[in-house]
Amino acid sequence: MFKFILKRFAAAIPVLLVVTTLTFVLVHAAPGGPFDQEKAVPAEVLANLNKRYKLDQPMYAQYVDYMGHALKGDFGPSFKYPGRSVTEMIVDGMPVTAELGFYSILVALIIGVVSGVLASLKPNTAQDYVPMSLAMVGICLPSVLLGPLLLLIFGLWLGWFPVSGWDTWAHKILPSITLGSGYAAYIARLSRGGMLEIMSQDFIRTARAKGLSEAMVVFKHAMRGGLGPVISFIGPAIAGLLSGSFVTETVFQIQGIGRFYVQAAFNRDYTMILGTTILFSVMIVFFNLMSDIMAVWANPRLKFEATGSA
C-alpha cells in the first residue's frame, strides 16, 4: 500500500505543476489587471502598485518567484484586500467550506444510498421508478438553479430558514441540500446498479437458502460489495462538492473559500485565484487516493495496482 501511495503522489506532481502553470498563464493573459477600476488610476500610482506586487517583471520571473514561495506554503499577498495574505484568507475560509462539504456529503450519502438500496430490492416497480425518477431530476437540476429555488420557497415565501449566513444550524440546511442533492442522485443510481449486480450472485442465493432474513442478507452480505461503486465515487464526489461550493457559497452569502474564489475572478486577484486553485487540486488528489484505499478495503479482491489505474 505504501508503494501504491507513493506512486499516486509521484504521478500527481506533474499534474499539479501543469494545472498551476496553465492557471498562472491564463490569469495573466486575461484582459485587464488587478488594479483596473472604473476610475482611471494615475500612471505613477499604477507603476508603484505594479512594482510593489512585482507585476512589472517579466512573466517568467513572476512565475519562478511565485512557485518558489508557493512551495513553502506562501501564496503571496491578496491584491483585493491589502494587508492580508492569500494563505491567511484560505485558513479563515477553509473551516466553513469544509463544514459545508461535510454536511453536503452526508446529505448525498444518506439520501442516495437509502434510495438506491430500496430501488434495488424491488426492480421495475414503483419502489424503483419513483426514487430513480427523482434521481434523474436531481442530476438535471444544477445547484445554480436549485439554490435560488430553495431560497425563494423555504426562505422568502415560507420563512422557515434564513436566506444567508452560516451562523446557526438553520443557516446550514438549505446550502447543504443544495450542494448535496446532485451527488445524492448519482449515488442513488450507483447504489441501485451495484446492489442489483450483487443480489444476483450465487452467495446471496446461498445465504437465503440458509434461512437468513432478508435484512441480514441485504445489510451483512450484499451492501458491502454492492456499495463498491459508491465508495469509489466518494473521492471525486467530495472534490466536486468542494469545487461546487463556489456557486452555493455565493448564492447563500457564505464566507468560505468558494466565495473568495468567485470574487477573485471578478477582481483579477491573481494570487487568490492561484492559491485556491492549488489548494483544490491538492485536495482532489488526496480524496481520490482515499477513495481508492476505501474501495480496496471494502472489496479485498481488488489490488492496489489495479485500483491505481482506475
* CATH number reported for the structural domain that contains residue 224 in this entry: 1.10.3720.10
Question: Is 10 inside a domain boundary?
Answer: no
Give the Å distances, CA to CA, from 3 to 17, 283, 297, 305.
Answer: 22, 20, 16, 9
pLDDT tens digits, one per residue of 49-74: 778 777 778 888 888 888 888 888 88
Question: Is 48 inside a domain boundary?
Answer: no
Supply the Cα-derived Rg of the chain in whole angstroms: 24
Question: Is 32 inside a domain boundary?
Answer: no
Structural domain total, the chain = 1
Question: Is 50 inside a domain boundary?
Answer: no
Strand-pairing partners, residue 77, are 85
Question: Is 303 inside a domain boundary?
Answer: no
The residue range of the domain holding 215 is 87-267
- CA 232 to the chain's CA centroid: 15
pTM, full prediction: 0.76
Average pLDDT of span 195-206: 80
Question: Is 195 inside a domain boundary?
Answer: yes
Question: Is 116 inside a domain boundary?
Answer: yes
pLDDT in the model for residue 53: 77
pLDDT tens digits, one per residue of 139-176: 777 778 888 898 889 988 988 898 888 888 988 999 99
The whole-angstrom separation of Cα 11 and Cα 7 is 6
| Torsional class of 54: left (φ above 0), alpha (ψ -120 to 50), beta (otherwise) | left
Helices marked H in the chain — which ranges? Answer: 2-29, 43-52, 59-70, 86-121, 126-140, 143-150, 169-199, 202-209, 214-216, 223-226, 228-251, 257-267, 270-298, 304-308
